[in-house]
Structure 1
Amino acid sequence: MKRDIILSGVGGQGILSIATVIGKAALDEGLHLKQAEVHGMSQRGGDVQSNLRISSDPIASDLIPKGRADIIISLEPMEALRYLPYLSTEGWIITGTTPFVNIDNYPDQEALQKDLSARPHVIAIDVEAIAKQAASPRSANIVLLGAAAPFLDIEAGKLEAGVRAVFARKGEEIVNMNLAAFRAGYEYAQKSLKR
């Protein structure tokens, strides 16, 4: 088993929480893990990106070469497109659809959606709307994790255990909220794959 994952978004969206949950689940499955993070200016809405490499065999480098990522998981559509050079030809993009417009020359939203739709393997999901309906707007990142779960080659139950472990210190209510968000994202991805 090997998965090279690029996580991207804007500071404050919860990308590193997604990486932590996936990492915990991978380690609990006895897999090897390497991670490299690039923190943007998160206080100012800068980009945040993480390379996450998971394998049943030892991993030499924590950086993903161009054209080798299996998955891009992004909370922000422009950030998903920013890392396309790293995606393999058979790779998947799992992205939120709501733009975080933090620059003057932010691309046209319709053009962004069209560019994403032209890709062969995309799950574009309104994580904010689903989070609001299923749990809380603050759990949008965990909705995205749920949507990415079918592509991670990690048992969903292990990812849920990772969610429990990461959010346990915040109390049972927060844990349950994030589990509901994870399941809503997972269900959305399953339905998308059946279309």
Structure 2
Amino acid sequence: MKKDIILSGVGGQGILSIATVIGRAVLDAGLRIKQAEVHGMSQRGGDVQSNLRISSDEVRSDLIPQGAADIVISLEPMEALRYLKWLAADGWIVTNTVPFKNIDNYPTDDAVARELAARPHVVRIDAEAIAREAASPRSANMALLGAAAPFLELPVEKLEQGIRDIFARKGEQVVEQNLAAFRAGYAHAKKQIG
């Protein structure tokens, strides 16, 4: 098994929580992982990007070469477009549809949507709305992780255990809210891909 994943978004959206959940699931599944991050976390709204390289064999580099990513998971649609040159020809984009307009020259919503629609393998969800429907408005990142789960080749129960592990210190209610958002995102993605 080998999976190269780029996580992207802006500071404060929960990219690093997604990386942590995936990392726990990977280790729990007995696989290997390397991770590299480039982020503006200290500045809410700065771009955040993480490379996750997962394999059953040794992983030598933590950086994904251009054209090799199996999945780009993005909490912000324009950030998904930023990493297209890293995406493999048969790779998937899993993105939130809600923009975080933190720059003056942010493209129009229609322009971003057209660019994403031109790609052969895209799952687009309104992660915020899905999280709200699941009674967990602050769990959009877990809804997006749920939407990406069908492409990760990791057991769903391992991802759910990762959610339990990282949110346990916040109490059972927070754990259950994040699990509900994850499951709702998963269901939306399964509907989109058939």
The answer, yes or no, to whether TM exceeds 0.5 is yes
Query: Contact 2:10 / 2:44 at 8 angstroms: preserved in 1?
Result: no
Match of 1:50 in 2: 50
Unaligned 5+ segments in structure 1 are none
SS state at 2:138 partner: helix
**Does the CA contact (< 8 Å) of 1:8 and 1:74 recur in 2?**
yes
1:121 corresponds to: 121
Identity over aligned pairs, percent: 72
Q: For residues 10-46 of structure 1, what are the alpha-carbon distances to aligned partners after superposition, in whole Å with 9 as ceiling and x for unaligned?
A: 0000000000000000000000000001111542411
Contact residue 12 and residue 44 of structure 2 kept, 8 A: no
Unaligned runs of 5+ in 2: none
1:114-153 alignment runs, 5 A limit:
114-153=114-153
Pairwise CA distance, 1:136: 1.6
Structure 1 segments, 4+ long, off by >3 Å, are none
Deviation sequence 1:129-167 (CA, Å, 0-9, x none): 110111321100000000000000000011000000010
2:169 partner letter: R
Normalised by the length of structure 1, the TM-score is 0.98
Partner of 2:172: 172
Q: Is the 8 A contact 1:12 1:42 kept in 2?
A: no
Tell me which residue corresponds to 1:111: 111
Secondary structure (helix, strand or coil) at the match of 1:182 reads helix
Question: In structure 2, the residue corresponding to 1:58 is in which secondary structure?
Answer: coil
Number of residue pairs aligned between Structure 1 and Structure 2 = 194
Tell me which residue corresponds to 1:17.
Answer: 17
Cα RMSD (Å): 0.7
Provide the C-alpha distance between the structure 1 equivalents of 2:50 and 2:62, rounded to a whole number of angstroms: 10
SS of corresponding position for 1:177 = helix
Q: Secondary structure at the match of 1:138?
A: coil
Q: Distance in 2 between matches of 1:108 and 1:182?
A: 29
User: What is residue 193 of structure 1 aligned with on the other side?
Assistant: 193
Show the counterpart of 2:37: 37
In the superposition, the TM-score normalised over structure 2's length comes to: 0.99
